[in-house]
Amino acid sequence: MTNNQEAQRTFEQALTLDPRSVGAKIGLATELVSTVVNGWSSSVEQDEARAEQLLIEALERDPNSSMAHFSMGQLRQAQNRLSEACAELEAAVVLDRNNAHSLAGLARMLRFLGRPQAGIPHIEQAIQLNPRDPNIGLYYRDLGCCHLLLGDVGQAIDLFRKAIAAIPRYSHSQLWLAGALGLRGDLEEARAALSESLKLNPKISSFARWRSAFPVVTNPDYLALAEKTLNLGLRRAGFPEE
């Protein structure tokens, strides 16, 4: 969160110096969308509106910017406009097949569309392209999510542990680990992971709050898979409905 705020300030300063800078507009929009997607924003509608305006302006100047399409895809995901999000992320990948962020974003979007198997090659390619990425923990988390939804519980647990080792303070990795451990029947460990998730992000303290904060998890095709895997494991670990 601190790094995100610092990045926002840097891009704001860059725009003050050059209000026409496409790079600064994309950078600031990307950071604003990140605050929304990660549940850090205190003014979601305002951040989304500003990010959208910045990205529209950037794409008018440079319609072939892979990062602009990536950020627009992330924004559409946050708005639960899934088909549009997928189209933007696919465009980002076509424009730059070495853009690990876009590959990971597309994999994530395919997961929310209920197609985790289709997402796996994209996230694996993202990891291969940039194994030292500071966000590698998120890539491991996303790959673990796909495997868990497909019922590959042991592999998912290994990936969530790698994700947590890389980024210890990311609550979603702990939450998914709790679900995977609960599904496998390791309830003591599952409860410990759930407790850690709640310490890191007290806002996501029930299924109702999770769905309210992240509407993408209500997509029927995704939910059908999650109910048999992640959500079942979380209920076993004691994650409440309300």
Query: In this structure, are residues 32 and 46 in contact, taking their beta carbons and an 8 Å threshold?
Result: no
User: Which residue among 96, 121, 145 closes a domain?
Assistant: 96
How far apart CA 84 and CA 214 sit, in angstroms, is: 17
Residue 39 backbone zone (phi > 0: left; psi -120 to 50: alpha; other: beta): left
The answer to whether 143 touches 150, Cβ cutoff 8 Å, is no
Are 233 and 149 found together in one domain?
A: yes
Task: Tokens for 59, please give them.
Answer: 């794409």
Q: Residue 124 falls within a domain, yes or no?
A: no
Domain region containing 233: 136-242
**Are residue 1 and residue 68 in the same domain, yes or no?**
yes
**Residue 234: inside a domain:** yes
Condensed to tens digits (0 to 9), the pLDDT of residues 185-221 reads 999 999 999 999 999 999 999 999 999 988 999 999 9
pLDDT tens, residue by residue, 113-128 = 999 999 999 999 999 9
Q: Are residues 172 and 231 in the same domain?
A: yes
Q: Which of 96, 117, 145 is the last residue of a domain?
A: 96
pLDDT tens digits along 33-59: 988 887 778 888 899 999 999 999 999
Helix axes of 230-237 and 187-200: crossing angle, nearest 10 degrees: 90
Same domain, 90 and 173: no
Distance CA 29, CA 11 (A): 9
Q: Which of 64, 80, 96 is the last residue of a domain?
A: 96
Q: Residue 96 has what pLDDT?
A: 96
What pLDDT is stored for residue 149 in this prediction?
A: 98
How many residues are given for the chain?
Answer: 242
Give domain status of residue 117, yes or no: no
Q: Is 49 within a domain?
A: yes
Residue 161: give its domain's CATH number: 1.25.40.10
| Statement: residue 72 has pLDDT above 90 | yes
| Count of structural domains, the chain | 2
79 within domain boundaries: yes
Same domain, 143 and 92: no
In this model, does residue 2 exceed pLDDT 70?
no
Task: Tell whether 236 is covered by a domain.
Answer: yes
Residue 125 counted as domain residue: no
**pLDDT recorded at residue 100:** 93
Assess whether 180 and 239 both reside in one domain: yes
| CB contact at 8 A, 191 and 238 | yes
Domain assignment present for 53: yes
